Structure 1
Amino acid sequence: MSAFAALEGGLDPGLLDHCGLCHTRAQMKVTKSALTTGAALLALTASSSCKEPEPDKFGTVRIELSPLGGEGDTVFAGTTEVIATVNYEDCLQDFYLIDRTDYQKDGPEGAPVFDQFAETLCTDYDEAPECEVDSIDQTLLEGTDVYNLKVTFTITDPSSLSYRELNIGPLPTEDLAGCSPIVELNVNGLIGRDANGTQIWGISTLPGSSRATTNQGAPLRVTLARK
């Protein structure tokens, strides 16, 4: 309506303009309120539909370090490095070489997993000795029967080794692997070295069973003797 028409109709043009402005503001408030409500409902719906975090897909096997005769000070004195190697059995060979090659150490899914375990093997487990992870290496040589996982630990306090547990990983859980993820520890699979890189101790006696699965209930208890 024009100002002239408003005058003819007995309405004050200023009043009309003011009413129009109020109406526009009211519409904006309604629109803003509707958008805010819609956003809140969308956020609530998204929140209610979020799934619980999946359980950890990877774990470790544990090796308990038992010095021969209980003489930890003698066996472990001077230790600066421990190297633990476990061999993949059929399930894990198929997992890494056939089913999920992306989880190999250098794979797109595997690389961050290996990096994470390098940071946590010495810090996130109650029975771990005073150590740091120097490296985690994976060997998958088809046709040579060499399929293993090797963890090299730097030992910052050798007196902390007696009856403590080394965690060896990452290893996929049974749910992820789709089979029983078994590794085997051989007699040459655990050695200690001094600052010169010389081996000063190794396995004297393996347990009755030297095979273990991911997140096993009990550690592999090995007896270690000075070289």
Structure 2
Amino acid sequence: MVQLTRPSAPPRAANFATRAAAFGRRGRAWLSLVPGMVGASPVLAHHAMDGVTPGSAVEGLLSGFAHPVIGADHFCFLLTVGMLLAFCPLRARLQAVAALAGGLLLGVVAAVNGLDFPLANLFCILTLIGTGLLALATRSVGTRPLVAVVGVAALFHGLAFAAAIVGSEASPLIAYLIGLSITGGVIVLGVGILASTLATGFGRDFPRAARRWTGFAALIIGNLLLLSIGTL
């Protein structure tokens, strides 16, 4: 009698190698979009309302929703922060979101009240490069220092965001701050949820690979933005 045997399952290492290769191809595809993102950033930055200062709470809210997304430095900074915190406890992620909102608030309010910091855009790019280096670090940073870094970095992004709201009344300003905080928090937490979901399919080595690709992308985009800072 012929005995039927089940085909042996492919080794776990082979499964991960296949998935990692697919992830690497996706990462290279995303990196191919970097020049376009950098080129579009100077054009889109601070133009969520076509360059017009928000005159109502609705306009302020919409402008706040849009601004963290339309600038490559701001958006990529938030994505990198989200990946740095993706595999931290939920409490640490919520603390980082609170620090982010607080830093944005302080930066915008300080600029609206007369603080002139012409190097805000430069420092925004440097925060992107800094978080990229943290993502590539071989030793993980503690959650408390990381939350503090997020808060300080957000201060510079807030100073840059203020350019779109200076001269506005209180109602649009408050709505603008709410919009900034919501968008920033959604991006940071959303990246964490997405990364955790993908980790269940790619295996335990996924967090390191994801952080590495994120760090490389942040460094590339940050350095390209530094080269084009004269047009920002």
The higher relative CO (CA closer than 8 Å, separation ≥ 6) is in 2
In the superposition, the TM-score normalised over structure 1's length comes to: 0.27
In the superposition, the TM-score normalised over structure 2's length comes to: 0.27
More helix by share: 2
Which of the pair has more CA radius of gyration?
1
